[in-house]
Amino acid sequence: MPRGSSSGLRRLLRREADRLRRQPLLFREFVDRLRRQRPRSTILLFGSRARGEARAASDYDVAIILPNPDPVEEVIRARRARPRGLRVDVVVLGVRQLEDPVYAQMLDGAVVLHDGLNLFRGARRVPLRRGSSEDR
């Protein structure tokens, strides 16, 4: 490999490592922005990061729960609040959708980041449902 190629690769790898190191800080900034935008919301972290199974390059999975959301508009707002370089997937749900078994399973054991709707009454995690995969 020509010498210039290896130095270019080193720079690329260094930039990627720096970006990965900044992810937790960027995520906290993102959640703070969401809380300021929507104080009457509940924000949950779910998926591999919530379960403690994430790899360095794993994205953040976030659910924003609102009383009567316009999901398209709220996803657009959340994307605008996302700091550049943060890998995050956002799902916007209405409070009633929490009763849907698909969403309930998706959010089993999620970490409560903000509970402006007081849905989880001070709990740090969404309670596991009976019959969830972790109960087996």
Question: If you search the block for the tokens 């749900």, which residue do you land on?
Answer: 93
pLDDT in tens, 91-126: 999 999 999 999 999 999 899 999 999 999 878 888
State how far the Cα of 49 lies from the Cα of 51, in Å rounded to an integer.
5
User: pLDDT category, 15, cuts 50, 70, 90?
Assistant: confident
Secondary structure letter of residue 107 according to DSSP: T
Classify residue 125 as exposed, middle or buried by CB count within 10 Å of its CB (0-12, 13-18, 19+).
Answer: middle
**Closest by CA position to 66, among listed 91, 95, 45:** 95
pLDDT in tens, 24-81: 999 999 999 999 999 999 999 999 999 999 887 899 999 999 999 998 999 999 999 9
Question: In the predicted model, is pLDDT for residue 17 greater than 90?
Answer: no
Q: Is the pTM of the predicted complex or chain greater than 0.85?
A: no
Q: Tell me, what CATH number does 86's domain have?
A: 3.30.460.10
Range of the domain at 103: 3-135
Q: Domain tally for the chain?
A: 1
